[in-house]
């Protein structure tokens, strides 16, 4: 069974379904690679005018696959470099992307949603950046994009506590575009995609390009700093303890080193 399912909604709209239900769609290296390949292909396909990405009723993406990350030995580990390069095709995708979020959108899942252009969330979706609970920090823009979207104080609440918020709370914070009943999420996202796909192609392209340029222009230095900090934390004892405790379903014992 494929961990990534791609469906044709119509001639100009593609639907991407994340399909690792046994792991709540956690981002392992294989899934990251498949996503990068698909977004690269879609960016270069002139027939595609909008993309919807979703998970299932339990999870959009519950975060990174900690079983993989537990094996990372330090900031220059090959796995971390692979993770970084696989985010790039999503960030640079020229087509409008709508995320349809039910269930968990945590850590890398919240960051993946924030890489999209419109976020449709279910009432009972759960957003958060809980990386601090396993001894690291967000590594794909979470500290910067979240702060720019919701403001310092709301972002600090989520980043420093690792708490989750519902789809309704995320909407009230300004993190998502629209919140709807859980069973209407995907259809709402598809409706947006179909509507956008019927609008002037160059106008859509320029809007996305201009908005993202203005949004990201001062961001690159901060993202680079975040990335280096994220990598360095993989050489700490607390990172190992946090991830191991999570996998072993016990409370971690942090030592501050």
**Catalytic site includes residue 108:** yes
Task: Provide the b/e sequence for 1-15 (b: ≥16 CB within 10 Å).
Answer: eebbeeeeeeebbbb
Classify strands 126-128 and 104-106 as parallel, antiparallel or unpaired: parallel
How many residues are recorded in the chain?
A: 257
**Catalytic option among 64, 105, 155, 193:** 64
**Catalytic site includes residue 111:** yes
Phi, psi for 42 (deg, rounded to 5): -65, -35
**Catalytic option among 100, 131, 142, 155:** 131
Please give the Cα distance from 142 to 156 (Å, whole number). Answer: 11
> Of 198, 208, 181, 52, which is closest to residue 121 (Cα–Cα)?
181
**Catalytic option among 103, 108, 122, 167:** 108
**Catalytic site includes residue 131:** yes
Residue with tokens 């909407």: 171
**Catalytic option among 50, 62, 105, 111:** 111
Given a contact cutoff of 8 angstroms between Cβ atoms, the answer to whether 184 and 105 are in contact is no
Catalytic (active-site) positions: 64, 108, 111, 131
């Amino acid at each position: 069974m494929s961990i990534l399912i791609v469906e044709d909604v119509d001639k100009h709209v593609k639907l991407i379904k994340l399909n690792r239900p046994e792991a709540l769609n956690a981002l392992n290296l294989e899934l990251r690679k498949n996503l990068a390949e698909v977004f690269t292909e879609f960016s270069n396909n002139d027939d595609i005018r909008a993309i919807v990405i979703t998970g299932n009723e339990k999870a959009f993406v519950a975060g990174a696959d900690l079983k993989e990350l537990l094996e990372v030995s330090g900031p220059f580990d090959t796995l971390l470099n692979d993770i970084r390069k696989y985010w790039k095709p999503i960030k640079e995708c020229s087509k409008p992307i709508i995320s349809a979020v039910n269930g968990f959108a945590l850590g890398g899942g919240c960051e993946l949603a924030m890489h999209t252009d419109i976020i449709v969330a279910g009432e009972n979706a759960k957003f958060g950046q809980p990386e601090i609970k396993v001894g690291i920090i967000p590594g794909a823009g979470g500290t910067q994009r979240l702060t720019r979207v919701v403001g310092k104080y709301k972002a600090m609440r989520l980043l420093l506590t690792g708490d989750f918020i519902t789809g309704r709370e995320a909407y009230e914070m300004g993190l998502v575009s629209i919140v709807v009943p859980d069973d209407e999420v995907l259809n709402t996202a598809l409706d947006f995609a179909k509507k956008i796909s019927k609008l002037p192609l160059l106008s859509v392209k320029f809007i996305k390009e201009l908005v993202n340029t203005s949004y990201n222009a001062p961001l690159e230095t901060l993202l680079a700093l975040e990335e280096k900090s994220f990598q360095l934390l993989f050489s700490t004892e607390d990172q190992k303890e946090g991830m191991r405790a999570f996998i072993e379903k016990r409370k971690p014992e942090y030592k501050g080193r």
